[in-house]
Structure 1
């Protein structure tokens, strides 16, 4: 009964970014319950793995775990489906870095290229621009999980199998492009691979370390 409500209150009080010091007496006012119930709720949240808790003088230090944050994100996504038709675009910032050079080989495959043309309405340049997001944008990037991606199917070219992935339409410095995320990737979440109808490094005169602005185009925006 109290799980989601209590996690939301703890998050609003700041227990996601850093440990929050709070007593059961203080917490009871936030969930409209008795002090005894508030203490029991915090203990249950800890037992269920939604929070970590350390008892200290005057209360406890509470911090939402990844499991707790995921529960709230799923709840948030549910409400978006109920109340929202259009979500806001995401604005991300990061710096250009040198990738591993694998993009050209994979993107040029007919099995991928035909899908990119059909689903993105452009023929990608055979290569990717790699961008590492700054810390703030890396957190905002998690909101892409609530967006509907364009699915790229895997295929077999007769010699080997190639895995699928998903694309998110974007604009990078005003140029229509897309983020490509393979189903099987060794890249961390804060590193983006971007495809475009032209070579972005040359078109935007980019060097390693240059900052770029990426706008993730969400087809839905909240009312």
Structure 2
């Protein structure tokens, strides 16, 4: 099945904003498929946690999940890349302490070699963490629509390490990347930033300092 086609159609029906009552019969024209096929595909999307459904006697309430919206955002980002659309977003926040995981994960060979190859530098072993201000959270969501560089997940034979998306950014004249793991302990309002230098020292930053992050490819 074409997951993106299903998600796109559901979004156009308003399922991106709130739960919408939709019968399988209504979807026959859009998907040009039988009731049985549509029902099976909707169940598949639900099992993949791309949509949330509540079955009712008159139909079903469907809403696209945050994971489903992320999939649509990635598709949008791909089209921007294809058509060379350059866009930048401004995020403001405050420097914050992290969970101390950045230094460990960045130094793992499976990640470090990809950073060097795909980003063009070996990151300082640690991340700069920035808590985004509330009024910038909408731009933070839009960040998912920007082109990104994929850092693949891998296994070392003992455990599996997840994939991450890296978004080009700039802080105080220093080129860096916001790294967004597919699995993370952080909420969406906290940015983890990697750079070839220790940004706290280069920019003389401490917890609580206000900071501006420009996200997007530099023209």
What is the TM-score of this pair, normalised by structure 1?
A: 0.63
State whether residues 90 and 218 of structure 1, in contact with CA within 8 Å, keep that contact through their aligned partners in structure 2.
Answer: no
Matched with 1:112 is 111
Q: Secondary structure at the match of 1:94?
A: strand
Q: Name 2:187's counterpart in structure 1.
A: 188
**Is residue 2:96 matched to residue 1:122?**
no
Contact 1:94/1:132 (8 A) holds in 2? yes
CA RMSD, 1 decimal? 3.8
- In structure 2, the CA distance between the partners of 1:94 and 1:110, relative to structure 1 (3 Å rule), is same
Deviation at 1:172, TM superposition (A): 1.1
- Give the distance between the partners of 1:47 and 1:130, measured in 2 at CA: 41
Deviating above 4 A after TM superposition, structure 1's stretches of 4 or more consecutive aligned residues are 3-7, 65-71, 77-80
| Residue 22 of structure 1: aligned partner | none
Task: Determine helix, strand or coil for the equivalent of 1:47.
Answer: strand
- CA deviation map 1:74-103 (0-9, x unaligned): 59x769948953132111111000111010
Deviations 1:171-191 (A, max 9, x none): 111101101111111211110
The Cα shift of 1:148 comes to: 2.2
Q: Aligned residue for 1:157?
A: 156
State the shift of 1:157 in Å: 2.5
2:170 corresponds to? 171
Tell me the TM-score normalized by structure 2: 0.64
- Distance in 1 between residues matched to 2:202 and 2:77, nearest whole Å: 40
- Unaligned 5+ segments in structure 1 are 8-15, 17-44, 49-64
Give, in angstroms, the shift of residue 67 of structure 1: 4.7
Unaligned runs of 5+ residues in structure 2 are 1-9, 23-61
Matched, 1:47 2:21: yes
Q: 1:5 to 1:191 in 2, by over 3 A?
A: closer
Give the secondary structure class of the aligned counterpart of 2:131: strand
CA contact (8 A) 2:77 2:146 kept: no
> What is the total number of aligned residue pairs between the two structures?
171
The residue correspondences of 1:40-119 to structure 2 (distance < 5 A) are 47-48=21-22, 67=64, 81=79, 85-119=84-118
